[in-house]
Amino acid sequence: MPAASIHPPATLNCGRYRFTLERPLLMGVVNLTADSFSDGGRLLDPVRAVEHARELVAAGADIIDLGAESTRPGAAEVPVALEIERLLPVLAALHDCGAALSVDTRKSAVMSAALAAGADMINDVNGFRDEGAIEAVRAGQAGLCVMHMQGTPATMQEAPSYLDPVAEVAQFLRGRAAALESAGVARERIVLDPGIGFGKSLVHNLQLLDRLAAIAALGAPVLIGVSRKSMIGAITGRGVDERLAGSIAAMLFAVSRGAGIVRVHDVAASRDALLVWRALVESGSSTARIQQDE
């Protein structure tokens, strides 16, 4: 068996798509926000956002993640109506772009509007804890990404604290997945994400990535977002526009520890890195098989 399948082969139901996770999936980020830490303001114009999303699909994105409210520490809240107003034209324009469409939101009204407009996935950094969130997503076949966050975006980086970050994050994700399943959501729709940088210090992030197998063991595909994040800046001393190499290193490490979906800004470079990593891993395991057979 190729070593690339350290994450057990699984399928993910994602709206119109049914993904097998034989290889890591690429989720490309498109922020329709004025203040995202990574690319704030560049894609507020829907025409530009659609163009950028199409570039990411051409570069190999399997899923496009559209966010209309920044989650960076201290970001301004976006009213529901404005979030919906930013998302709907872009969802409509991208409907047949060739990738699954995910919407990154914490608000149940936005979830309902996005699903009615054809979104294939809801990505909730708040783990479907908002009032009405589970109700909004339980019917249908949309993929659901449950992310862990300690605190709220406004305060989460003030003093993150855990006795055992891996055990606590795993327990939270297990609980939220159970809440979704008891509302009738099929296990094949659920994705789990430890939420790198969301109420975590650098040490917490490193521990979570190192022991990602404990999250993968919960039995759902694991999504990881490390792209351009402050942990990469803290390690390399680089500003947000200079974090590609560090982001790729962290992404490959996460995949080697069991991540099945990676959320990235730089799809083309991430795709190439994953292809080379996978070819090496597979050639390593076939060499081991040949030696075993001899």
Q: Is 68 in the site for ligand HH2 (CB under 6 A)?
A: no
C-beta of 226 vs 274, nearer to ligand HH2: 226
Q: Is 19 in the site for ligand HH2 (CB under 6 A)?
A: no
C-beta of 9 vs 74, nearer to ligand HH2: 74
CB contact at 8 A, 177 and 220: yes
One of 145, 166, 208, 264 touching ligand HH2 (CB under 6 A): 145
Q: What is the DSSP string of 88-130?
A: HHHHHHHTTSSSEEEEE-S-HHHHHHHHHTT-SEEEETTTT-S
One of 62, 83, 193, 266 touching ligand HH2 (CB under 6 A): 193
Task: Give the residue closest to ligand HH2 by C-beta.
Answer: 225
User: Which one of the spans 79-87, 176-184, 193-201, 281-289 is the region binding ligand HH2 (CB under 6 A)?
Assistant: 193-201
Tokens of 136: 């909004």
Whole-number minimum distance, CB 31 to ligand HH2, in Å?
Answer: 5
CB contact at 8 A, 172 and 128: no
Q: Is 71 in the site for ligand HH2 (CB under 6 A)?
A: yes
Tokens of 95: 């409907």
CB contact at 8 A, 216 and 184: no
Q: What angle do CA 17, 95, 221 make, to 5 degrees?
A: 30
Tell me if residue 107 is catalytic: no
Tell me if residue 42 is catalytic: no
C-beta of 200 vs 281, nearer to ligand HH2: 200
SS3 of 14, please?
strand
Catalytic pick among 86, 263, 271, 278: 263
One of 13, 31, 150, 207 touching ligand HH2 (CB under 6 A): 31
Rounded Cα–Cα distance for residues 245 and 68 (Å): 27
| Residue 219 backbone class (left: φ over 0; alpha: ψ -120 to 50; beta: rest) | left
Q: Is 189 in the site for ligand HH2 (CB under 6 A)?
A: no
Q: Tokens 């800046």 map to which residue? A: 233
Q: What is the DSSP letter of 4?
A: G
Catalytic pick among 176, 229, 243, 271: 229
| Contact residues: ligand HH2, CB under 6 A | 29, 31, 33, 36-38, 67, 70-72, 104, 123, 125, 145, 147, 193, 195-196, 223, 225, 263
Q: Give me the active site residues, please.
A: 229, 263
